[in-house]
Amino acid sequence: MNTRLTWICHGATAASRKARFPLDEPLEDKTLDKAGNMAALPQAERIVTSPALRARQTATALGLEAEIEQRLADCDNGRWAGRPIAAIGTEEPENLMAWMSDPEATPHGGENFLNLRRRVSGWMDEQSLLGGHVIAISHAAVIRAAVAHVLKAPLASFWLVDIEPLAVVRMTSNGQRWSLRL
């Protein structure tokens, strides 16, 4: 059974513009306009979104009626949520380095990248059994984890994938393996 998966990264927020770990915040006003001007998306059997406000607003701006999928939630940044990355680097340089170099590290008390990848890949594998076309509005971290899963790449590659706001990433599955479609 063939499955097409179209990932859409949510639009820009104040946190993404100011290099802060995100909270559940709204999109910037200009992002709503930008999303509304994106090219039309193909029809899909299933449209899902992260529960985060910024992802739900992106779906609405795209004219999509999406169901909330908890497994598409952003990585839990624990006590770092809402804080500038630069401040963490100054106050906790060892912890920030551990988080960025060890996929199993959780110095912030949140979710590590290994668990994020497991969560995302489990959801993707369920979708591959259902077939059809799925549109998923989520977060850069979630899409990075999906790309690492598809490429069977080590989690250290997580930081080598740059997913911009409103980026579209396409994948396909033949029911046995996923492929990145560029």
On whether residue 106 sits in a domain, the answer given is: no
On whether residue 103 sits in a domain, the answer given is: no
On whether residue 11 sits in a domain, the answer given is: yes
Residues of the chain with pLDDT under 70: none
Domain count, the chain: 1
What CATH number does residue 62 fall under?
3.40.50.1240
On whether residue 126 sits in a domain, the answer given is: yes
On whether residue 84 sits in a domain, the answer given is: no
On whether residue 150 sits in a domain, the answer given is: yes
| Sheet (strand 132-138) strand order | 67-68, 46-49, 132-138, 3-9, 168-173, 178-181
Which pLDDT does position 132 carry in this prediction?
A: 97
On whether residue 45 sits in a domain, the answer given is: yes
Which pLDDT does position 37 carry in this prediction?
A: 77
Which pLDDT does position 153 carry in this prediction?
A: 94
As a whole number of angstroms, the longest Cα–Cα distance in the chain is: 50
Which pLDDT does position 31 carry in this prediction?
A: 82
Which pLDDT does position 79 carry in this prediction?
A: 96
Q: Distance between CA 11 and CA 58 in Å, rounded?
A: 6
